[in-house]
Amino acid sequence: MVDKVIAKEAPSTLILVEHPPVITLGASFHPENLLHSPESLADRGIEVHPNDRGGDVTYHGPGQLIAYPIFDLEMVGKDLHVWLRNLEQAVMDTVESFDLKPRRFAPHTGVWIEDKKVCAIGIKVRRWVSMHGLALNVNPDLAAFDLIVPCGIQGYGVTSLSQELGSPVPISLAKERLLLGFAGVFQTEWETC
């Protein structure tokens, strides 16, 4: 899809998925942030995969909404800072729609509720088309984050929409609201997969 968007053979595309349990190691991965061996994690049913997105280590699994915006960044003037802040804003608008109070927490990229991260962001750009994206914790098993130092950030926790609200949030509802968040921030046309 990235190649098609680069070649202008497809419009910008937003892919929304849930992954099976997996830990990904980003371009800035530090081994000390993976608290268990890949073999030990495999015994728990969690795969470990290095990839080329930005950031350190993170967990993906059921109950987490993953968004891969394959967008032509001409829409933000080819400005990565603006791109990241817009991604954060789309998620913040989504979180606010659940009557929660999200925030940015500089210098860390992502979206937070108080001192807990609710959404991790890790991107890569090739020929001004974005790939990789964000992971919004809707209703995942938060204990899985104890297997890593999430995003390599010591001393802070991870939360989810369900944890903060005290009741389960369906992924389908989070998808609807994230699409509205993207529509509000990125006043442009894209395809959804």
Active site residues: 151
Q: Are 113 and 88 in contact (CB under 8 A)?
A: no
CB-CB contact of 151 with 118 (8 Å): no
Q: What does the alpha-carbon distance between residue 122 and residue 52 come to, in Å, rounded to a whole number?
A: 9
- Distances from the Cα of 41 to the Cαs of 33, 122, 150, in angstroms? 14, 22, 15
How is the beta sheet containing 22-25 ordered, strand by strand? 47-50, 22-25, 57-60
**Which residues, 6 or more positions from 156, have their beta carbon under 8 angstroms from its beta carbon?**
115, 116, 117
